[in-house]
Amino acid sequence: MHLQKLASVTKFKSKEALIGIVGLGYVGLPLMLRYNAIGFRVLGIDIDLEKVDDLNAGKSYIEHISSAKIAAARNSGFEATVDFTRVAECDALILCVPTPLNKYREPDMSFVINTTDAIKPYLRAGQIVSLESTTYPGTTVEELLPRVQEGGLVVGENIFLVYSPEREDPGNPNFETRTIPKIIGGDTAACLEVGTALYEQAIDQVVPVSSTKAAEMTKLLENIHRAVNIGLVNEMKVVADRMGIDIFEVVDAAATKPFGFTAYYPGPGLGGHCIPIDPFYLTWKAREYGLHTRFIELSGEVNQAMPEYVVSKLADGLNERGKPLKGSKVLILGIAYKKNVDDMRESPSVEIMEMLEAKGVTVAYSDPHVPVFPKMREHHFVLSSVELTAESLAGFDAVVLATDHEKFDYELIKASAQLIVDSRGKYRVAAPHIVKA
């Protein structure tokens, strides 16, 4: 055991290891670029042939990752493949696959399980398997451990297993893969040691915890912390609105307190792959222990009600102007889930669009980061982004500011739109044609 661990650690420290990254999306690609940049050979593995062909041609399909970076990685040894037999070549296998919810808001573990089953036949002594997907406490031990050991390998002796949750923040210029501290939990002490050797090459600060379960729970706490606080401020927004108080002014004022307060801002609901989804991983797992996580579920309810709140404010605004929702033309500004990115996952804007369409509204959107409405698992719109001009804006009965991209010309929008429903607090000065939502 000692010799195998030593050999694996040495391989990572000397950068002789081949890093395999399974799942080449918002998490996998930045990680690939980081390992490539510091001199490791990297093999990207994905089931999507289109993605693999793009990468091998030096093309990026994620807006904030340039094609020039992909091309540079290709020139220095990066390669992508759909061939899972090549798992055997890799010294590390880092799994970066999605963990969505099913329609009953229960964890859909099929991506993690199918990926583990796909790599399983090609696992060999000396490898480390690291799961980065956000999931419930116990996943690594319950789902990955037995599968990894199925062929006779023993975790902690001749193969190593860790959980190290991703912490990407797309569109945030202040952080990159290297500078965000990395949590890591191993199945055994030897697993943790090999995992630390794998990640400390690429990440400035590795933060070890006592187990994979503790690491899984850490990631959930981070995201639940945000979900609960956003739920709180969304609820306060509704109260403040009834009282004629601007919640954004209140949050800004509270944020001047140098201790005990963290500023969270309200919006049209929660988006992205993490915050709307991850809390439900814990509520689901807690049931197994006879526990009911009321606090988490309540914040989920509040946040899920926000798109409906925005639609009701739009209906009120149109009503004031003697117009019904049905038959109105409405432009949604921003359909990515947060500003300055092209990520559409769980975007509340899309939910607002669906609600409006169901009520007989003619819906259009404008988003400089999403030129054409993408194919999504759940949602289907055949639309392209509307270019914002004085004329195009004036042609809509209302515009709903759902995502506050910096590329939008807010003065032009204010001057040209008939009615603005502002769910992001961009327009602080009251105007007759601006409705706060």
Say which residues have a Cβ less than 8 Å from residue 311's Cβ, sequence separation at least 6: 352, 355, 356, 359
Mean pLDDT (whole number) for 12-29: 95
The catalytic position among 90, 96, 191, 274 is 274
Give φ, ψ of 386 to 5 degrees. Answer: -80, 135
Question: Residue 106: which pLDDT band, with cuts at 50, 70 and 90?
Answer: confident
Looking up tokens 């009503």 gives: 319
3-class DSSP string for 62-108: CCCCCHHHHHHHHHCCCEEECCHHHHHHCCEEEECCCCCECCCCCEC
Q: Is the pLDDT of residue 275 over 80?
A: no
Measured CA to CA, the distance from residue 199 to residue 41 in angstroms comes to 14
Q: Is 274 a catalytic residue?
A: yes
Please, what is the Cα angle at 81 between 58 and 118, to 5 degrees? 150
User: For residue range 290-307, what is the model confidence (pLDDT) as tens digits?
Assistant: 998 998 889 988 999 999
Residues paired with 129 in a beta bridge: 93, 161
Mean pLDDT (whole number) for 374-396: 90
Is the pTM for the entire model greater than 0.85?
yes
User: Within a 13 Å sphere around the CA of 162, how many CA atoms are in the beta-carbon half?
Assistant: 31
Tokens of 266: 């309200």
DSSP codes, 144-175: IHHHHHTTS--BTTTBEEEE------TT-TT-
Residue 128, H or E segment: strand 128-131
User: Within a 13 Å sphere around the CA of 142, how many CA atoms are in the beta-carbon half?
Assistant: 9
Q: What is the CA radius of gyration of the chain?
A: 24
User: For residue range 22-52, what is the model confidence (pLDDT) as tens digits?
Assistant: 999 999 999 999 999 999 999 999 999 999 9
Q: Is the pLDDT of residue 352 over 90?
A: yes
Say which residues have a Cβ less than 8 Å from residue 408's Cβ, sequence separation at least 6: 333, 334, 366, 368, 388
Q: Is the pLDDT of residue 1 over 60?
A: no
Q: Is the pLDDT of residue 330 over 90?
A: yes
Q: Which domains does the chain have, with CATH numbers?
A: 2-210 (3.40.50.720), 305-436 (3.40.50.720)
167 close to 207: Cβ distance less than 8 angstroms: no
Measured CA to CA, the distance from residue 7 to residue 212 in angstroms comes to 23
User: For residue range 202-261, what is the model confidence (pLDDT) as tens digits?
Assistant: 999 999 999 999 999 999 999 999 999 999 999 999 999 999 999 999 999 999 999 999
What pLDDT score does 297 carry? 87
User: For residue range 400-436, what is the model confidence (pLDDT) as tens digits?
Assistant: 999 999 999 999 999 999 999 999 999 999 899 999 9
